[in-house]
Amino acid sequence: MARVFIPAQLRRLSSGQTEIELPGTSLRQIVDGLEQAFPGIRARLCTGDDIAPALQVSIDGALTARGMMAPIGPTSEVHFLPAIGGG
């Protein structure tokens, strides 16, 4: 199962839980699993049917631009990170 790390700003939705293991082969399935475990978290992670523009997703240490279709391996680590802007 993938290991999903809950960002500090969302831990009140997870009752302080910092990580959870979830089954899934795509980021969409991981987000669905998070919503099932912690109702309301999807609204903070997503805008419509995609990852919120204010977030980046790191899977196994690499940022992904594939959105909800990003593949997840059976031992993947998934992090939701605030997007960094600047110039």
Name the band, by pLDDT with cuts 50, 70 and 90, for residue 34.
very high
The structural domains of the chain, ordered by start, are 2-82 (3.10.20.30)
pLDDT, position 87: 58
pLDDT, position 85: 65
pLDDT, position 10: 92
Q: What is the dihedral of CA 73, 74, 79, 85, to 10 degrees?
A: 0
Question: How is the chain split among helix, strand and coil, in percent rounded to 5?
Answer: 25, 30, 45
pLDDT 10s digits, 38-58: 999 999 999 999 999 999 999
